[in-house]
Structure 1
Amino acid sequence: MEINDLTPAERRVWEAFPLGEGVDFRADGEDDPEPGTEWGPERTVRAAVLRALLLDGPVSEGEIPALKLLGARITGQLDLRYGTIEHPVRLRHCVFENPPALYGAQFRTLALKHSVLPGLTAGAIRVDGALLMTGCRSTGPVRLAGAHIGGAVFLDGARLESPLTPAVPDPGEPPEAVLELNQALVGHDLVARGLVAHGLIRLNGATVDGDVNFDDAHLLAPGRTALHAENLTVGTDLRGMRMRARGRVNLSGARIPRHLNFAYVRLSHPEGQALRASSATIGELWLREAAPIEGALNLRGAQLDLLHIAPEVWPDRVRIDGLSYRSLTPHLPAEQRLPLLEHEEGGYLPYLYEQLTTAYRTAGDDAAARTVQLAKLRRHRRTLPRYARLWGHVQDLTVGYGFRPMRAAGWLLALLLTGALTFALHHPRPLKPDEAPDFNALFYTVDLLLPIIGFGQEQAFGPQGWYQWLSYTLIVTGWILATTIAAGISRSLSRQ
């Protein structure tokens, strides 16, 4: 391209490039490129001029060329597909007439901060340093699938939307993503604080060596998937504090070694699963002070070290079969945690109770662990035939399935008083009158109730009629209750 073909605005850019100097077309105090489509020729630069500079622009000895442009209207399409750009590119507060075509291109660094674009086609792009799109506004899809970014990706404060996304989702058609970073490799962080996305964000299969940060982001895809991040691999944390997501957040199979921090989050997808993290491996999942989840929660097969979630945050529909966690916080009485297990869509699953029992035992709360085990047996009772349920009710009433040994002691005391009073009023006849000791109603009842204790009363006296049936009842119940108490004491000693 000849310099004589350039407009005055383009000539400024051409002359500044070899010196690495910036050209700022903005008026004093102007910071918003939104009205850029109305800018005149005094701040308009053709994309063909920028392409010529980046691929074969002039250089000055001893200087580092760079394209630094602020507040320009870029007409035509900036087509750098498969090109190798050796110079820094900073196009800030600019307005693009057409989506830049950067597929397969290689950059040192690329900054599009606070620019307005009708989309970006940059699949398989290679950037040695950072990709900066802070504060960008895109009215079309931003395609970065398969990108290799050596530094960080900055999307904080960006606004993304796509006219290709239908208002009413078609179940047979995959939605168009407003941001595609699937299978991308990011060497540092993915920063999207305050991002506003009207449509799907796709991160499935991506690898981010640092953090992924969606703090204060708004992900808006009602009735559809807002964040699709299956098999996402994160080096440290995934943050979404105060995030608002209308649509499904899908983290199935994700690998997050430290924290998935969704404190103060609002998740809403009443049509289906609001949060899906099935088969994910997560260090700590934090839903502290989160709003009640609107929609289903799927943690099926997930592996966590710590799960921080209050009972009021859980939705009515959950899938937690196979969920494994070591600690559960905040520490609450078992009675506040047990209702969640009733909401499992798969019905009664013994594993869920065992997992909750383990968490309480890890926290040293054996009383809560016993409460969970008792609840497990009561829930299991509902699945049994009628006759088995009847026997279960008897066990529950008398000894709490063995987890309430003091209840057994109470029953023993009540039976002891009943037997002592009854036999005190109606002495059983002596079997051998000449050899029988003096009758003692209390010790006679103790002989009947406690099989391991003998005072010689039971062998010396024999009741008749219904008193004989009472003695049989005392013997049977005594065996059951004494065994229950012994088992309870044994469990207590073993825990200590």
Structure 2
Amino acid sequence: MTDIEQRLITAARNGEWLMCDEPDTVVRAGLIRELLLGRHGELDPRGVRLGGARIDGHLNLVRVKAAAGLTFSDCVFGEPIEARSASLPHLAFHGGRGAGIMADGLQVDGSLFLRRGTRFSGDEARGTIRLLGAQVAGDLDLEGAHITNTAGPAFNAAGITVGGQVLLRDGIRITGSGDDGALNLVGAHLASNFDMTKTEIGNATGPALLMANAAVGGFLSLADGNRLSGHGSNGTLCLSSAHISGHAELTDTKITNAAGSALFAHGVEVGGNLLLRKGLSITGHGENGALELFNATIGNVLETDGAEITNTAGPAFSANRARIGGALALLGTTRLSSREKGPALSLTGAHVADRFGGADTVELKVPEPNSLLDLRNMVVGVAVRLPSAVCPDLGRGTTCGHKALVRLDNFTYGHLATGWDWERWLHVIRCHTPAYHASAYQRLAAVERAAGHDGTVRRILMAQQTDLRRRSPQSLGGPMTRWFHRMWGALAGYGYRARRTAAALLLVLVAAGAIGWWAGQVPTRPGHLAAERVATGAPCSTVELVGLGLDRGLPLAMTGMRARCDLDTASRKGQAFTAAIWLVQLAVWGLATLALAGYTNLVRKPG
């Protein structure tokens, strides 16, 4: 036994560090195993603590049940460490280099540290550091570690259980390869927080950080200079079906993927808030979104405040069928951009229990004619306020120079937020939706009806019928039906302006009287007029002529004048006046029918 080995045995018994001064100091790997097995006497609980040594040979800790922990500082391992199913009070690496750690099923009663520039690199398909199903009672701390793998995951800890926090801080670099991710925490059970700052994780052929089906008992935080780059359909950061008990916050983090979504979080559950804050940059290239939250469940608020989300091939932000227990807020200088196929934000089928709103500073960009927002079948429990990017000039008319579009088919909401009155919302429906859809008008009318604004409701429903004729004329039928629809709108307000119909009816009756009087002024032959006394052919009085016109135009309310004064139907001019009276009579019948139907609601249809 060499002098250095004897000194290590003595230091381990006394709980002291053995710091090797010579750079090529060699310690046999087998001696470390023997110490942990108690073959050189009882060790101090602080365990084996070795620094600056080169470990010679294969450090085999498979199934070792040690009463003392193991700590290395700036040591070099020529071969991978094996610690499958081992049990240690603690395990720590502070600096140093190695070819990998194979530790499936490892149990650590305290914390597991890989810190201060520890470097492990390998080409093992199952991982450079492999902790499948491991159990760590304390923290898992990778502060400052550099881990790489050219053939698989750099850090593969699928199914790991961590009783404390997972800490990735201060200059960590993790580079892996393949579909299993660079850092794999699939199915992990983390009792406390997941905290990542100043970390770089890269994978040119798969996800960077894979946390599908993981459970985080505290908060999840990515902040302060993180950089994640990945490739492929599983996303760069994959949180699919993960469960986060507390808040999830992403700030000052860059996530990129040139061949898929950057943040893939189908079915994720967040018990608290999901906060996408200033400095967050998400860039993807996929038809489903750069940020995918399909079927996600957010316990409280989903908020973007200064985040920038870009997709070069589809929606920027997709949260279709998501369930949000609080509000969905787009705040600050949030930028959502779709460079090829929109929309910028897709929320089809989503349910927001509280408010949905966007600040005036929010930027939404899509190529024409894509929609900025897709809100089809979405439900907002309280109020809604669209970002002003939809119509920056706050339009209220029937035309608009802005081309931005919003999908509002079957979009349901409680009421409109301050700054979005019904006229502005009606403008959006008429000018900023890609096609006519009755549900948008009907919902707005229902909101105003609930507020007791019956006059406003009638104006909304008349605007609906006008838009129906303008953008979906084929649904009305042929040319005659469309003509009648137009006349119905002009004369009866589509059944919502019955007084207008009554006024038109009065005017027609006046016209009937005027025609009767006019006929009494037009000669047909010497001594005869188009309207004259029946018995003598003498001219009729003014009252008789007006009564004649009313008798002809309103047959249900006879004045009796036709018995004394009538049209001369034997003459051509008398026949012309007779035809004119018939047209008046037809108009009277039609207007009377519309007036009756308007008062009884018989002709009001949603369209």
Output the TM-score relative to the length of structure 1. Answer: 0.71
Q: Equivalent residue for 1:300?
A: 348
Counterpart secondary structure, 2:485: helix
Q: For each residue in 1:408-433, what CA deviation from the matched residue of structure 2 results, as whole angstroms up to 9, or x when unmatched?
A: 57756765776676666667879999
Q: 1:432 to 1:231 in 2, by over 3 A?
A: farther
User: Whose radius of gyration is greater, 1 or 2?
Assistant: 2
Amino acid at match of 1:160: I
Q: 1:417 to 1:335 in 2, by over 3 A?
A: farther
Segments of structure 1 that go 5 or more residues without pairing to the other structure are 26-41, 58-64, 165-175, 492-496
Q: For each residue in 1:263-321, what CA deviation from the matched residue of structure 2 results, as whole angstroms up to 9, or x when unmatched?
A: 44433224123232222222332234543542423433322333324797485246544
Counterpart secondary structure, 1:286: strand
2:352–2:381 contact (8 Å) kept in structure 1: yes
Tell me which protein shows more helix as a share of its residues: 1
- Aligned CA RMSD, in angstroms, stands at 4.8
- How far is 1:439 from its partner? 6.4
* Worse-superposed segment, 307-316 or 267-276: 307-316
CA–CA distance in structure 2, aligned partners of residues 158 and 487 of structure 1: 70
Q: 1:76 to 1:490 in 2, by over 3 A?
A: same
CA–CA distance in structure 1, aligned partners of residues 198 and 281 of structure 2: 14
- How far is 1:17 from its partner? 9.6
Amino acid at match of 2:20: P
Q: Equivalent residue for 2:216?
A: 186
Counterpart secondary structure, 2:342: strand
Task: Kindly indicate whether residue 241 of structure 2 is the aligned counterpart of residue 205 of structure 1.
Answer: yes
Amino acid at match of 2:163: D
CA–CA distance in structure 2, aligned partners of residues 128 and 254 of structure 1: 26
Q: 1:152 to 1:285 in 2, by over 3 A?
A: same
Amino acid at match of 1:208: I
Counterpart secondary structure, 1:272: coil
Q: 1:407 to 1:437 in 2, by over 3 A?
A: closer
Task: Kindly indicate whether residue 377 of structure 2 is the aligned counterpart of residue 322 of structure 1.
Answer: yes
Task: Kindly indicate whether residue 160 of structure 2 is the aligned counterpart of residue 125 of structure 1.
Answer: yes
Q: For each residue in 1:135-162, what CA deviation from the matched residue of structure 2 results, as whole angstroms up to 9, or x when unmatched?
A: 4332331111111111121124433221
Task: Kindly indicate whether residue 281 of structure 2 is the aligned counterpart of residue 244 of structure 1.
Answer: yes
Q: 1:262 to 1:459 in 2, by over 3 A?
A: farther
CA–CA distance in structure 2, aligned partners of residues 212 and 450 of structure 1: 77
- How far is 1:468 from its partner? 0.9
Q: 1:324 to 1:8 in 2, by over 3 A?
A: same
Q: Equivalent residue for 2:461?
A: 370
2:241–2:265 contact (8 Å) kept in structure 1: yes
| Identical pairs, percent | 20
Q: Equivalent residue for 1:172?
A: none
Amino acid at match of 2:323: T
CA–CA distance in structure 2, aligned partners of residues 293 and 445 of structure 1: 67
Q: 1:384 to 1:438 in 2, by over 3 A?
A: closer
CA–CA distance in structure 2, aligned partners of residues 309 and 425 of structure 1: 65
1:125–1:148 contact (8 Å) kept in structure 2: yes
Task: Kindly indicate whether residue 177 of structure 2 is the aligned counterpart of residue 177 of structure 1.
Answer: no
- Summarize the alignment of residues 329-340 of structure 1 with structure 2, pairs less than 5 Å apart: 329-330=384-385, 331=416, 332=420, 333-338=424-429
Q: For each residue in 1:236-257, what CA deviation from the matched residue of structure 2 results, as whole angstroms up to 9, or x when unmatched?
A: 2222134432222211111223
Q: Equivalent residue for 2:130?
A: 101
Q: Equivalent residue for 2:298?
A: 256
Amino acid at match of 2:192: G
1:113–1:133 contact (8 Å) kept in structure 2: yes
Q: Equivalent residue for 2:186?
A: 145
Task: Kindly indicate whether residue 429 of structure 2 is the aligned counterpart of residue 342 of structure 1.
Answer: no
Q: Equivalent residue for 2:596?
A: 483
Q: 1:397 to 1:223 in 2, by over 3 A?
A: farther
2:498–2:595 contact (8 Å) kept in structure 1: no
1:357–1:373 contact (8 Å) kept in structure 2: no
Q: Equivalent residue for 1:381?
A: 473
Counterpart secondary structure, 2:488: helix
Q: 1:270 to 1:310 in 2, by over 3 A?
A: farther
Q: Equivalent residue for 1:285?
A: 328
Amino acid at match of 1:385: G
Task: Kindly indicate whether residue 227 of structure 2 is the aligned counterpart of residue 196 of structure 1.
Answer: yes
Q: 1:278 to 1:477 in 2, by over 3 A?
A: same
CA–CA distance in structure 1, aligned partners of residues 101 and 302 of structure 2: 38
Output the TM-score relative to the length of structure 2. Answer: 0.60
2:80–2:99 contact (8 Å) kept in structure 1: no
Task: Kindly indicate whether residue 111 of structure 2 is the aligned counterpart of residue 111 of structure 1.
Answer: no
Q: Equivalent residue for 2:20?
A: 8
Amino acid at match of 1:324: V
